[in-house]
Amino acid sequence: MGKARAARKWAAAAALGGGGAGLLGGTVIAILFAEAMLAKRTIGEPVGQAPDADGIYGDGPGDPISFVVLGDSTACGLGVDTAEETPGGLLAAGLASLSDRPVRLSVAAFSGAETQHLEDQVDQALAVEPDVALIIIGANDVTHRTLPSDSVRLLVQGVRRLREAGCQVVVGTCPDLGTVEPLAFPLRQLARTWSRRLAAVQTIAVVENGARTVSLGSLLGPEFAAAPRELFGPDRFHPSAAGYASAAVALLPSIAAAIGYWPEDEDADTPLGEGQILPISYAAVRAARSAGTEVAAADVAGHERGPRGRWALLRRRPHRQVEVREKTG
């Protein structure tokens, strides 16, 4: 079965509420579950707490933009020392600079969170009437044996609730766990396959429900593999400050574009080829392999769907020098 076709089937199973066991076969699932248990033992439990990054960033005129961050330890910035080094802090400061408005950051993410915890985080997020939300979740689903179809079904529920409340949503898809140093072959290759597959299914489901994704896979891939001492933190699992900054650089343009502070029709700095508009399942598989690739809904000749499903646009937005606005409250 082709990777795009497999991702499409898993996404369909998530939409229908199925567990997805039939798509893998019992023997394969048993092996994956056993390997996931070994991964959990190898990595260990998270240590420490992420800095409290909640607050106001920037001091421009107008009402603050309400920005919420949901997800797991990567979303909340476990492993760094200051609020300004967390993904939320970096992105809030960048968004304040791009918009010339203050940004109120609220972080509902917490270390150890799985997608099953997203419902409570969405409850917390909706209480502050968010304008835009970032979700990074899925790595713990891999190490806790949650099937992708179940994980994505829960993600879709959260995305739908946020979109129904008028909040724009950007999802940083599951990182490539095949770059985690403590994992040895063949577990490392299995982790890479499993996490990329989850990222592709996340992309299909999220775009189908009115949000956009940015691939984090290879931001924790070739760059991290080449410089693990710089881009991984002391536990060799969570990113360092430099690693979080690398992810924030890729995420900021998409978050800003979602609320109108980055041009949607901007040319990509690194073309993905002539076929930038693809069926969503093909776009999802391609994005899972390419660092910082955004996937959003598109249309062809006025049609949202073609013979192979919804059309999707892949792009890499150009990076800009952004003056960082500090936390002011």
pLDDT of residue 292: 81
Catalytic, out of 238, 240, 246, 254: 238
More confident residue, 161 or 113: 161
Domain assignment of residue 307, yes or no = no
Using a 10 angstrom Cβ sphere, with 0-12 exposed, 13-18 middle and 19 or more buried, the burial of residue 301 is exposed
Q: Which domain holds residue 91?
A: 3-269
Confidence of residue 257 (pLDDT cuts 50, 70, 90): very high
pLDDT of residue 201: 87
Domain assignment of residue 324, yes or no = no
Confidence of residue 265 (pLDDT cuts 50, 70, 90): low
Catalytic, out of 195, 235, 254, 281: 235
More confident residue, 192 or 110: 110
In the residue annotation, 235 being an active-site residue is answered as yes
* pLDDT for residue 18 is more than 50: no
Domain assignment of residue 280, yes or no = no
Strand, helix or coil for residue 171: strand
Residue-wise pLDDT for 34-53, tens only, equals: 555 555 555 555 556 889 99
* Residues 6 or more apart whose Cβ sits within 8 Å of residue 267: 318
Domain assignment of residue 108, yes or no = yes
**Domain count of the fold of the chain:** 1
- Rounded CA gap, 245 and 175, in Å? 15
What's the whole-number mean pLDDT along residues 230-252? 70
Catalytic, out of 54, 72, 73, 141: 73
Rounded to the nearest 5 degrees, what angle is found at the Cα of 137, between the Cα atoms of 94 and 33? 155
Domain assignment of residue 318, yes or no = no
Strand, helix or coil for residue 327: strand
Are residues 148 and 205 in contact, defined by beta-carbon separation less than 8 angstroms? no
Closest by alpha carbon to 276, among 263, 262, 290?
A: 290
Domain assignment of residue 289, yes or no = no
Domain assignment of residue 40, yes or no = yes
> The pTM is what?
0.81
Confidence of residue 134 (pLDDT cuts 50, 70, 90): very high
Using a 10 angstrom Cβ sphere, with 0-12 exposed, 13-18 middle and 19 or more buried, the burial of residue 62 is exposed
Domain assignment of residue 299, yes or no = no
- Rounded CA gap, 29 and 197, in Å? 14
Q: Is the dihedral of CA 202, 309, 316, 206 positive or negative?
A: negative
Mean pLDDT of the chain: 78
The Cα-based distances of 184 to 42, 178, 190 in angstroms read: 10, 9, 10
- Rounded CA gap, 96 and 285, in Å? 33
What's the whole-number mean pLDDT along residues 300-321? 85
Residue 107 carries which side chain, given as an amino acid letter?
V
Q: What is the CATH number of the domain that holds 241?
A: 3.40.50.1110
pLDDT of residue 192: 63
- Rounded CA gap, 241 and 5, in Å? 37
In the residue annotation, 215 being an active-site residue is answered as no
137-170 burial string, b = 16+ CB within 10 Å, else e? bbbbbbbbebbbbbbbbbbbebbebbeeeebbbb
Q: Which residues share a beta bridge with 56?
A: 104
Q: Quick one: DSSP state of residue 116? A: G
Choice among 155-169, 184-198, 247-261 with the minimum mean pLDDT: 184-198
